[in-house]
């Protein structure tokens, strides 16, 4: 045990000494570059780069220094290789107009430095906001003069999980395609005034959604060190209804009935395919220079009747048992989510070169 502890201590000390020696080597190499002595710089840095003796910040400095050395020693191939390693160590590396030579800018602009795409994962809650555009009721014709029925919808909370792939196009504009699993619900209460008849319907839904969107990021083209990037977005959604079920639905007063677990898709009482549009806003918070945490809110508007009007009266469980006939309605949703966006890079020489 003591022998192992001694070995660990010796190893830690040797690693610390090696790291310190690499720092000294890098500082000397930078001094030699400033004096115009380029010949020995690659060999001075080679050992520490191969043995991972530099810190991340030192590795970036080393690859940048090597790129400049190879540029000014007319070794274009090696300069390009060093630049690629620099961009892998520090994606979207920002050059300095005051200190970096024009030759480095020229080489830099030959390469793709932006991410080829980004992947994102979001999770959050949704609030179902039904929009009734035509009302129906089993008691639309009162049994006695003056009797009416009132129907109320309660906003219900659900959740969703969404993954997306995104790509930056130009000047802060991104486009993306996602896939989302969503759970939503409706809670409906109807009272037949003048009687003791009351029913409560709780209907749950499971969705598979495919959002397509465009996004504008404010300050995207500005300082890469900016911590917060607000954005706005808009898009459309293809919605596929996986499941629609009556849950804890009952009628009280008169003949009491309850319906649980009834499948509303068995007889096509709900439309499986729906479409919607949405608008949203959010903010990206950099975890480092290239990845983000996100906070986002969206409002989604349904464009099609959720209820299949042709099969409105086929459900004896609800029509006869609960005295419930569904309204024509579309489903709107308010969603709030948190997420993480990961940038994926592949620095590569461009086919066409634009002048600086």
Domain boundaries, the chain: 2-108, 117-344
Max mean pLDDT among 121-125, 143-147, 153-157 falls in 121-125
Which of residues 9 and 113 earns the better pLDDT score? Answer: 113
117-344 shares the fold of 2-108:
no
Residue 302 has pLDDT above 60, yes or no: yes
Percent of the chain with pLDDT over 90: 37
The answer to whether the CB of 204 falls within 8 A of the CB of 247 is yes
Among 124, 125, 180, which residue's Cα sits nearest to residue 156? 125
Q: Does position 14 have pLDDT exceeding 50, yes or no?
A: no
State the average pLDDT over residues 330-351.
91
Rounded mean pLDDT, 42-59: 85
Whether 278 shows a pLDDT value over 90: the answer reads yes
Mean pLDDT of the chain: 84
CATH for 117-344, options being 2.40.160.20, 2.60.15.10, 3.30.230.10, 3.30.465.10: 2.40.160.20
> Could you tell me if 328 and 312 are in contact, meaning their C-beta atoms sit under 8 angstroms apart?
no
pLDDT at 129 over 50: yes
Ordered DSSP codes for 39-101: TTHHHHHHHHHHTT-S-HHHHHHHHHHHHHHHHHTT-HHHHHHHHHHHHHHSTTPPP-TTTS-
pTM for the model stands at 0.79
**Mean pLDDT score, 37-60:** 85
Confidence of residue 15 (pLDDT cuts 50, 70, 90): very low
pLDDT of residue 217: 92
Stretch among 17-26, 294-303, 329-338 having the lowest mean pLDDT: 17-26
pLDDT: is 143 or 20 the higher one?
20
64 neighbors 86 (Cβ within 8 angstroms) = yes
Residue 171 has pLDDT above 60, yes or no: yes
Q: What pLDDT is attached to residue 13? A: 43
Among the residue ranges 60-64, 122-126, 334-338, the one predicted with the least confidence is 60-64
pLDDT band of residue 4 (cuts 50, 70, 90) is low
Cβ atoms 242, 208 nearer than 8 A:
yes
Q: Is the pLDDT of residue 286 over 80?
A: yes
Specify whether the CB–CB gap between 147 and 193 falls below 8 A: yes
- The answer to whether 310 and 337 are in contact (CB under 8 A) is no
Q: Averaged over 238-261, what is the pLDDT?
A: 82
- What per-residue confidence (pLDDT) applies to 47? 84
Judge: domain 2-108, CATH 1.25.40. yes
Instruction: Name the nearest CA neighbour of 270 among 203, 188, 208, 324.
Output: 203
């Amino acid at each position: 045990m003591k022998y192992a502890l001694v070995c660990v201590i010796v190893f830690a000390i040797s690693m610390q000494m090696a790291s310190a020696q690499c720092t000294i080597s890098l500082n000397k190499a930078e001094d030699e570059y400033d004096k115009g002595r380029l010949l020995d710089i690659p060999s001075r840095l080679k050992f520490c780069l191969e043995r991972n003796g530099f810190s991340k910040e030192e590795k970036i400095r080393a690859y940048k220094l090597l790129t400049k050395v190879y540029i000014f020693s007319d070794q274009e191939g090696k300069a390009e290789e060093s630049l690629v390693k620099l961009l892998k160590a520090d994606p979207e590396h920002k050059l300095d107009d005051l200190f970096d030579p024009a030759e480095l800018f020229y080489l830099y602009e030959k390469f793709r430095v932006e991410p080829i795409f980004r992947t994102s994962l979001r999770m959050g809650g949704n609030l179902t906001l039904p929009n009734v555009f035509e009302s129906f009721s089993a008691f639309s014709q009162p049994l006695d003069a003056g009797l009416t029925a009132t129907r109320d919808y309660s906003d219900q909370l659900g959740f969703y999980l969404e993954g997306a792939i995104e790509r930056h196009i130009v000047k802060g504009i991104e486009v993306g395609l996602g896939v989302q699993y969503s759970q939503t619900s409706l809670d409906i209460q109807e009272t037949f005034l003048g009687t003791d008849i009351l029913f409560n319907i709780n209907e749950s839904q499971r969705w598979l959604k495919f959002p397509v969107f465009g996004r504008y990021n404010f300050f995207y083209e500005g300082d890469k060190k900016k911590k917060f990037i607000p954005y706005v977005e808009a898009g459309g959604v293809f919605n596929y209804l996986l499941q629609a079920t009556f849950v804890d639905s009952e009628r009280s007063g008169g003949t009491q009935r309850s319906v649980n677990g009834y499948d509303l898709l068995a007889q096509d009482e709900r439309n499986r395919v729906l479409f919607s549009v949405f608008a949203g806003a959010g903010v990206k918070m950099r975890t480092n220079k290239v990845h983000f945490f996100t906070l986002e809110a969206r409002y989604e508007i349904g464009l099609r009747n959720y209820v299949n009007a042709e099969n409105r009266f086929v459900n004896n469980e609800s029509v006869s048992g609960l005295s419930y006939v569904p309204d024509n309605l579309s489903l709107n949703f308010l969603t709030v989510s948190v997420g993480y966006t990961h940038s994926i890079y592949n620095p590569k020489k461009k086919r066409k070169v634009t002048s600086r």
